[in-house]
Structure 1
Amino acid sequence: MGEKELIKALKRGKEEAYIELVNTYGNRLLKTCFLMIKDEKEAEDIVQETFIKIFKYIKNFQENSSLYTWIYKILQNTIIDKSRKLILTVPYEDYTVSEENIEEIIIDKENKELLKENLKQINFIYRQVLILFYFDDFSIKEISEILDEKEGTVRSKLSRGRKILGENLQKGGEFNGL
């Protein structure tokens, strides 16, 4: 079923459309949510709440963006609502990185596991943009739609997030976030 057909079926309340939606996006939402908050049970709860909101508000979906972008916006808003109180500081192994090569490290698959462990140490507003850009492959424009922010703001957060990540990786030890 294509996206347009899926949206129509969802708006009509077709059970098979709900199943297809969960099968199509469930694991991706869970992965993103877990990267953001690093708590498996909480991530599962947030994704479940996200699907409830999707099912509840699908009739309001205006199709100004892709279904995927709309769903991720709901997920991000749910994460923000749920995680305002979560502050994570976890020690990690000492790695030496220069600020100039932080982008290559983000792109390098071998280092993605290192980054996954260390992203949780960065302030949520920067972590969120880094994950959407590098792990979920959203464009700046799509991220601005998801977060309901100007593209310049997203670029600024992406740049600042890269810089903070590089500085923290250079320091080693324990991150405090900013």
Structure 2
Amino acid sequence: MNPLDTRLAKLARKGDQRAFAEIVGLYKDKLYHLAYRMTGNRQEAEDVVQDTFLRVHKNLERYDENQKFSTWIYRIATNLCIDRLRKRRSTYSLDAESSGHEGLDGYSMLPSDDRTPESELLLSETQRLIREAMETLPVKYKSVMVLRYMKELSLQEISDVLDMPVTTVKTRVHRGREFLRKKLEHKL
């Protein structure tokens, strides 16, 4: 529990605009990165962040102070992203069933020191391929994969954010990795 979040939420609930501005300052970049990873579109990510803060402001009285504030705000942002991705489906179809990539977290294991221009190019190319593969994930897998590997949330935190059982989260992470693995096995 981050007491700062809770204190700011309490103050903002009472109408303290500076406290709400601090919440925005604390979360705007984190939410933008989450939304961008999920939507793959800068404008949509910015819209999601703005919509998230509008909903937070409007619904502060519904925030349960026994819950982590970050979980609550991530849930709002994630749901907004999922809604946008579902609406987008009518424009182009996402691949139905398939599965993920064991090496997704290997992306974070690539050597970070002693980088050469060649290794930098390889790293950026690998990251691009993974990002492109993530874009093709079905929405139900994409949300858990982004929260797990991009936001580095625990399975329990993802369960709280998405309001689903941990076992479902585990299954979706596994299937999402399988989907990515199949997508990437011939590219990497």
How many residues are paired up? 164
- RMSD over aligned CA atoms reads 2.3
Unaligned segments of structure 2, at least 5 residues = 94-99, 111-122
SS of equivalent to 1:84: helix
Partners of 2:177 and 2:41 lie apart in 1 by: 23
1:92-131 superposed matches below 5 A? 101-108=102-109, 110=123, 111-131=126-146
1:20-169 superposed matches below 5 A? 20-87=22-89, 101-108=102-109, 110=123, 111-169=126-184
Map of 2:115 onto structure 1:
none
Residue identity over aligned pairs, in percent, reads 30
Partners of 2:57 and 2:102 lie apart in 1 by: 42
Distance 1:106 1:73, change over 3 A: same
Letter in 1 for 2:34: T
Contact 2:130 2:184 in 1 (8 A): no
Contact 2:104 2:130 in 1 (8 A): no
Letter in 2 for 1:107: S
Partners of 2:50 and 2:74 lie apart in 1 by: 13
Query: How far did residue 13 of structure 1 move?
Result: 1.6
Contact 1:32 1:136 in 2 (8 A): yes
Partners of 2:79 and 2:104 lie apart in 1 by: 27
Partners of 2:160 and 2:15 lie apart in 1 by: 26
For residues 5-52 of structure 1, the C-alpha deviation after alignment (integer angstroms, 9 at most, x for no partner) is: 212112112111111111110011011101111111111111111100
Partners of 1:48 and 1:64 lie apart in 2 by: 25
Distance 1:67 1:112, change over 3 A: farther
Partners of 1:48 and 1:131 lie apart in 2 by: 20
Map of 2:17 onto structure 1:
15
Distance 1:72 1:100, change over 3 A: closer
4+ runs deviating over 6 angstroms: none
SS of equivalent to 1:85: helix
Distance 1:106 1:38, change over 3 A: same
Partners of 1:83 and 1:29 lie apart in 2 by: 16
* TM-score, with structure 1 as normaliser: 0.83
Per mean C-alpha deviation after superposition, the further-off stretch among 121-130 and 144-153 is 121-130
Distance 1:163 1:101, change over 3 A: closer
For residues 26-83 of structure 1, the C-alpha deviation after alignment (integer angstroms, 9 at most, x for no partner) is: 0110111011111111111111111000001011111232100100000111112222
Contact 1:10 1:17 in 2 (8 A): yes
